[in-house]
Structure 1
Amino acid sequence: MKILLTGGSGMVGQNLLEHTAAKEYEILAPSSRELDLLNKDSVANYLKAHNPTLIIHAGGKVGGIQANMADPVAFLSQNAEMGLNLFTAASAHGVPYCINLASSCMYPRNASNPLREEKVLTGELEPTNEGYALAKILATRLCQYITDSSEGKKQYLTLIPCNLYGPHDKFDPDKSHMIPAVIRKIHEAKQAKRDTVEIWGDGEARREFMYVGDLADSVFTIVEKMLNRERLPTLMNVGLGHDYSINDYYKSVAEVVGYKGEFTHDLTKPVGMRQKLVDSQRINDAGWAPAVSLQNGIFKTYQYFLEL
């Protein structure tokens, strides 16, 4: 059984390749030089040459609030083009199964929590990462259209993970997501013996961050079910089922790192949505649930950071 994994060098991709279930399959994880997702001819030629049974699309241009605000053009255009090229070529080539990894930023900024899959495209998006969200919505809808028009011959579904963190994450404060950025910030504050660490906003906004190994578990759970020809919802959230405040995350990281200083708040900085908690009932019903606690996940991630 041959699986094509895009984005194999990214955080999600590397955790998928390191998962214990990965050895059960022949997984192709080409570099961007081997497979240029921005070039439709490159995508078509690769699929023709390798003929995968299933595609996991984890590739894309990713980043946190700062990165999205700094370059919205690239976040929209590149991610949209990758999704269009990959899934249209896969459908044309007859690939029966695809798993598209999307993002919870697809949900409207004012949608009620927990966020349920049917809420996608029912309201205005959060402006700080709107370009990325639009690209992910496009790929999601394309996968649904292909599935619906295939008369049962294709199953292209989308998983919407909550925020992720873990080994192989980026720890650059200008490019990373919140937890790796906080790990680095608090580690450096401890090393420099600083008395305070600054938090953007009041710290009361709530987020759902899941250890990336749990996402890898969910993907391989779905892979097995698809290959066993189980029909699944075309759109499923993947999350913890509960969230924490930004202040809680800072406190948890400080405990793991051993930082004893105080926190201050810069109320002039953007914080995004006040809450973003996904409803994971659909994938729970499919037989998956997360296993890694916040404290354990932060500990594993900090150990990885120390080894860099």
Structure 2
Amino acid sequence: MKILLTGANGMVGRNVLEVAKLHEHVFLSPASSELNLLDANSVKRYIAEHNPDMIIHAAGIVGGIQANMANPVKFLVDNMQMGLNILTAAKDCGITKFLNLSSSCMYPRDALNPLGEDLILKGELEPTNEGYALAKITSTRLCEYISKENPALLYKTIIPCNLYGLFDKFSPKNSHMIPAVIRKIDEAKKNNLSEIDIWGDGEARREFMYAEDLADFIFYAINHFEKMPQNINVGLGTDFTINEYYRAVANVVGYTGSFKHDLSKPVGMKQKLIDDQKLKEFGWGYKTELDVGIQKTYQFYLSEYCNG
């Protein structure tokens, strides 16, 4: 198939293109100068000209708690605009297959874990990333509406848990937790710091999947698209505390100092574990265990980021 991939320069997009080398599909991976997702006319022109068999929408403004809290307007407006533009253009151009990447942050903050796909819009969102979540909910619902109006259009959404891995961002301002912790602990080791601070009590639980595993799932989904559910969680179905992630990274980096907790800092949701029942029924499971994933990500950090 000829597949249009948005967000090809992001972590997910770059992992998809790496795994694509093992498959026969042809990928269109335009830069934003070629395809401006914030410009509806540009999007429609590009899709009409290239007429892909399928679109995978992996583009987005992403970041951790700090970035979301500092830029809520951008996280809401840009992400929503991109989703609306690409989905309406795809529908208008008659694209029959659309794979939308959403996020588990769109589940209600107080929902009972594990988080099932039917919980969307069933409660208040987590305030620290509400704008991003609202944008993701909109795209997910629009996929449902399009397929409901025209069942010949398979517009489906995958809802990944938190991700980390190769091509991740390690900047303190906009990185997610695992890459941020890798950088923090590596720098602490290099500077001989005896103590590292952790936001909150470190008991909040998070589910992080190695990004290459998500790319592997995407190709599994492409090959079984008709039978894939409308919305499907993709993750491990198991989680760890923030403290456990810090210890796992410290083990890989070889840091032997201690940790202290800064209880004045925000921690986000107490737990965010996806329900993987539909995923198991669909026939896919993750491959990379946490210690292996952290080791590979740390090597990437040392070789690409520190020497970049």
Asked if these proteins are the same fold (TM beyond 0.5), I'd say yes
What amino acid is aligned across from residue 268 of structure 2 in structure 1? G
Deviation, structure 1 residue 133: 0.1
Q: Distance in 2 between matches of 1:287 and 1:233?
A: 12
- Identity over aligned pairs, percent: 59
Measured after TM superposition, the shift of residue 131 of structure 1 is 0.1
Match of 1:155 in 2: 154
Distance 1:266 1:16 in 2: 37
| Distance in 2, Cα, partners of 1:203 & 1:216 | 29
Give the superposition deviation at 1:20: 4.8
Secondary structure of 1:24 counterpart: coil
Contact 1:109 1:125 in 2 (8 A): yes
Structure 1: gaps of 5 or more residues: none
In structure 2, the partner of 1:171 is: 170
CA distance in 2, matches of 1:15, 1:100: 16
Gaps of 5+ in 2: none
Deviation, structure 1 residue 55: 0.5
Deviations 1:14-58 (A, max 9, x none): 000000565410000000000000000000000011000110000
2:242 is aligned, of 239, 246, 249, to 246
Q: Deviations over 1:72-128 (max 9, x none)?
A: 000000000000000011011000001100011100000000000001100000000
Q: Which residue of 2 aligns with 1:307?
A: 303
- Aligned to 1:268, what secondary structure does the other structure show? coil
**1:201-216 equivalent positions in 2, closer than 5 A:** 201-216=200-215
For residue 232 of structure 1, what is the aligned residue in structure 2?
228
- For 2:12 and 2:212, how far apart are their aligned partners in 1? 8
Secondary structure of the residue that 1:45 maps to in structure 2?
helix
Q: Is the 8 A contact 1:128 1:272 kept in 2?
A: yes
- Looking at structure 2, the residues matched to 283 and 53 of structure 1 have their Cα atoms a distance apart, in angstroms, of 25
Structure 1 segments of 4+ aligned residues over 4 angstroms from their partners:
none
In the TM superposition, residue 232 of structure 1 has moved relative to its aligned partner by 2.5
Instruction: Determine the C-alpha separation between the residues in 2 that align with 1:95 and 1:166.
Output: 31
Aligned residues of 1:16 and 1:22 also touching (Cα < 8 A): no
**1:276 corresponding residue in structure 2:** 272
> 2:12 corresponds to which residue?
12
Asked if structure 2 preserves the Cα contact closer than 8 Å seen for 1:102 and 1:158, the reply is yes
**Distance in 2 separating the partners of 1:93 and 1:265:** 53
| Residue aligning to 1:192 | 191
Give the alignment of 1:1-308 within 5 angstroms. Answer: 1-20=1-20, 23-150=23-150, 152-226=151-225, 230-308=226-304
Q: Which amino acid aligns with 2:186?
A: H
Counterpart Cα distance in 1 of 2:260 and 2:193: 12
Distance across 1 between alignment mates of 2:295 and 2:255: 14
- State the Cα deviation string for residues 191-220 of structure 1 (Å, max 9, x = none): 000000110000000000000011001111
Q: CA RMSD in A?
A: 0.8
Answer yes or no: is the 8 Å Cα contact 1:21–1:220 preserved in 2: no
Q: What letter corresponds to residue 88 of structure 1 in structure 2?
A: T
SS at 2:296's partner residue? helix
**Residue aligned with 2:100, SS:** strand
TM superposition shift of 1:231? 3.2
**Alpha-carbon distance between aligned partners in 2 of 1:273 and 1:254, rounded to the nearest angstrom:** 24
Whole-angstrom CA distance in 1 between matches of 2:164 and 2:280? 21
Structure 2 CA distance, aligned partners of 1:296 and 1:242? 16
Give the aligned residue type for 1:180: P
* SS of the residue 1:236 aligns to: strand
Separation of aligned partners in 2, 1:250 and 1:182 = 7
Quick check: 1:35–1:46 contact (8 Å CA) kept in 2?
yes
Q: TM-score, normalised by structure 1?
A: 0.97
Q: 2:229 aligns to what SS in structure 1?
A: coil
In 1: Cα distance, 2:38 partner to 2:181 partner: 32
Q: Contact 1:40–1:85 at 8 Å: present in 2 too? A: yes
